[in-house]
Homo-oligomer: A and B are copies of this chain.
Amino acid sequence: MTGMMTNRELMLTLGRAGREAAKVLALAPTRQKNDALMAMAAKIRRSAGDILSENARDLENAKAKDMKASFVDRLTLNEARLEAMAKGLEEIAALPDPVGQVMAQWTRPNGLAFSRVRVPIGVIGIIFESRPNVTADAGGLCLKSGNAAILRGGSDSFHSSGAIIACLQRGLDTAGLPRTAIQMVPNADRDCVGLMLEGLGGTLDLIVPRGGKSLVARVQADARIPVFSHLEGICHVYVDKAADLEMAKRVVLNAKMRRTGVCGSAETVLIDRAAAEKNLKPIIATLIDAGCEVRGDKAAQEADPRVKPATQEDWSTEYLDAIISMKLVDGVDEAMAHIAHHGSQHTDSIITEDASTAERFLAQVDSAIVLHNASTQFADGGEFGFGAEIGIATGKLHARGPVGVEQLTTFKYQVRGSGQTRP
């Protein structure tokens, strides 16, 4: 069908179709969008056999290519994962609809009535690696927020994503919405990604990359349109001299070890030198006893012989593994200077019973999320109460922190008058 088209023509066609669909979605009532989401979930459940057999094709190829076990695991679908995908769509249906919400309203002395109203962004491109579940998540979140989606999944999940997209499009159909509201790039050619990063001739408003550091780095470097992303999460926990030791042990352990592969996982613990005598040993022991490797400065190495020496590189490394770096600092000021220098403006936490030190940390650390006496693993849209999220953004403009349906909207000003002219 697209045999005669160049990839450029093909992608521009997708972009224009997305733009047309976005016009319909912007005005679609909440009920219709929710109907589509529920129909998608039902269709995924009914099509489990088809999806799993397409997934089997992808898995066969991956095994033939000798891919890593963790890669194959992310690629693998099964009944339980399909059920989670369907449930995810139902949960998105249950979220409040951000579109049309009045964010602010005021009247000027001349009688003009201003409203700042949430509207969809338009057409959103999602570029992701071979995780088929992102297909449903990203499509559902874009739909709920009134945006058209153009999805470009990893080439190794091509057949799985295609089968899932078919279900999503059937759901759109059922609810009377255009199938082009959620489109998938129909081949795995790499130049299609480049065309998306250029903005598809002005039809694409935003790119969201979902995947590892090399994917995000490429998108950030090459995109000519806005990107919501984080390159890495080098999250810190600072244990102040006024910390409660039991709380510090519990929070540090959770911040690192609850899940080590997520962006909100802590990578460095900074310990206030003024209370190192009391806090250093027990915190190291808590981590090592739980199976975490600790790489520390001299003080940490002296406190526990199991601590390995940290190199300069460790302070800027996102391990995404059961490894943590640790060092002493001279109070909250050196801690904040360390975070400013080595952090990724993602999520950082202070443990202290001293309210004024905590407030200084919350005010001064320039990260999307700053916490007092809580684990960095709360960096998650669900934990914020946003419902599902499409990722975490560390850029400063528009969306910062978890990106849920509300963050996928923009706004416009509606001004209602009675014939006012400007003097």
What number of copies of this chain does the assembly contain?
A: 2
Decide yes or no: A421 and B258 within 8 Å by CB, A106-B385, A367-B412, A414-B362 being known contacts: yes
Q: What CA separation (Å) do A286 and B338 show in the bound complex?
A: 67
Docked complex: A241-291 residues within 8 A CB-CB of B: 244, 247, 250-251, 253-255, 258
Q: How large is the interface on A (under 10, 10 to 19, 20 to 34, 35 or more residues)?
A: 35 or more
Nearest-neighbour CB distance to chain B for A348, whole angstroms, equals 11
A422 contacts B254, C-beta separation under 8 Å? yes
Interface core residue of A121, A364, A368, A414 (most chain B CB under 10 Å): A414
Q: What CA separation (Å) do A416 and B378 show in the bound complex?
A: 11
Interface core residue of A114, A121, A205, A253 (most chain B CB under 10 Å): A114
Nearest-neighbour CB distance to chain B for A280, whole angstroms, equals 19
B373 contacts A422, C-beta separation under 8 Å? no
| A122 sits at the interface (CB 8 A) | yes
A372 contacts B416, C-beta separation under 8 Å? yes
| A418 sits at the interface (CB 8 A) | yes
B419 contacts A244, C-beta separation under 8 Å? yes
> Which residue of chain B lies nearest to A380 when distances are taken between CB atoms in the complex?
B422
| A74 sits at the interface (CB 8 A) | no
Residues from chain B with a CB closer than 8 A to the CB of A247 are 419
Nearest-neighbour CB distance to chain B for A93, whole angstroms, equals 22
Decide yes or no: A415 and B251 within 8 Å by CB, A378-B422, A397-B398, A410-B397 being known contacts: no
B378 contacts A112, C-beta separation under 8 Å? yes
Residues from chain B with a CB closer than 8 A to the CB of A422 are 254, 258, 375, 377-378, 380, 383
Residues from chain B with a CB closer than 8 A to the CB of A377 are 421-422
| A371 sits at the interface (CB 8 A) | yes
B362 contacts A206, C-beta separation under 8 Å? no
Residues from chain B with a CB closer than 8 A to the CB of A369 are 412-413, 415
Consensus secondary structure, chain A interface:
mixed
Residues from chain B with a CB closer than 8 A to the CB of A37 are none
Nearest-neighbour CB distance to chain B for A404, whole angstroms, equals 13
Residues from chain B with a CB closer than 8 A to the CB of A420 are 251, 373-375, 378
Partner of A415, one of B258, B363, B374, B418: B374
Residues from chain B with a CB closer than 8 A to the CB of A378 are 112, 415, 420, 422
Residues from chain B with a CB closer than 8 A to the CB of A205 are 396-397
Nearest-neighbour CB distance to chain B for A101, whole angstroms, equals 13
> Which residue of chain B lies nearest to A226 when distances are taken between CB atoms in the complex?
B397
| A65 sits at the interface (CB 8 A) | no
Residues from chain B with a CB closer than 8 A to the CB of A106 are 385
Decide yes or no: A417 and B374 within 8 Å by CB, A122-B396, A254-B422, A396-B121 being known contacts: yes
Nearest-neighbour CB distance to chain B for A215, whole angstroms, equals 19
Nearest-neighbour CB distance to chain B for A149, whole angstroms, equals 16
Interface string of A104-138 (1 = CB under 8 A from B): 00101000101000010110000000000000000
Q: What CA separation (Å) do A48 and B353 show in the bound complex?
A: 54
Decide yes or no: A112 and B374 within 8 Å by CB, A226-B226, A396-B121, A397-B121 being known contacts: yes
List 18 extra interface pairs beyond A122-B396, A205-B397, A250-B421, CB under 8 A: A26-B364, A26-B366, A121-B397, A205-B396, A254-B421, A254-B422, A367-B412, A370-B412, A371-B415, A371-B416, A371-B417, A372-B415, A372-B416, A373-B419, A374-B415, A378-B415, A384-B413, A400-B412
Sample of 24 A–B contacts (CB below 8 Å): A23-B364, A114-B384, A121-B396, A226-B397, A250-B421, A253-B421, A258-B422, A362-B414, A369-B415, A372-B415, A373-B416, A373-B417, A373-B419, A374-B415, A374-B416, A374-B420, A374-B421, A375-B421, A377-B422, A380-B422, A397-B397, A400-B413, A401-B412, A401-B413
Task: State the 5 A-B residue pairs at the shortest beta-carbon distance, nearest first.
Answer: A374-B417, A254-B421, A398-B398, A247-B419, A377-B422
